[in-house]
Amino acid sequence: MTAPLFAYSVPTQPLILASTSPFRKALLDRLGLPFDIVAPDIDESAQADESPSMQASRLARTKAAAVSLRHPTACVIGSDQVAHSGGRRYGKPGSLSRAIEQLLELSGREVMFETAVCLAFGQHGPKHEALVPTTLKFRQLSLAEIERYVDRDDPIGCAGAAKSESLGIALLEWVRSDDPTALIGLPLIALSTMLRQAGYVLP
């Protein structure tokens, strides 16, 4: 039997998702565990000379720490994702026009999504982290295809301007990852392992 990762009685404590992302909430709902949502309210800017993977890991850790500071007895999940291609990082477009611009830039190109997750117990308690990379390739997309897609799927809140769990999958040639949920924003395979080690009962 695997020894619990945490020495605390974690399952009796509140479980908190340090994110207001509806995509992460929907993913965590799949596990059937009760949890609360608390906004981490942190600066998500990249730091100087910080790689995309380092940025994603740091922000996942910082989100969990920020919420743990306000909820010191909770088990907190922090997660972050950074998309990059050709040395450029792609955040949430925020508008339909910017989503079209992103997809025009990414047409025919490979994009790497670095998705990090951190599970922390209390402000000073133990933490466990994982980084799950996903690589995908966009098809060669025409402006008409992009405009139709953006109008139908409204991907302004998604890095890379494509919802892979929705119509955005039709924009891709292929996806390579150890965890299909990582691309959506929360790697459930890695997180499930952490939660089981912490004492949560999952199938």
80 is catalytic: yes
CA–CA separation, 52 and 69 (whole Å): 26
Marked catalytic residue, from 80, 151, 178, 179: 80
Closest CA to 199 of 131, 119, 124: 119
Please identify every residue annotated as catalytic.
80
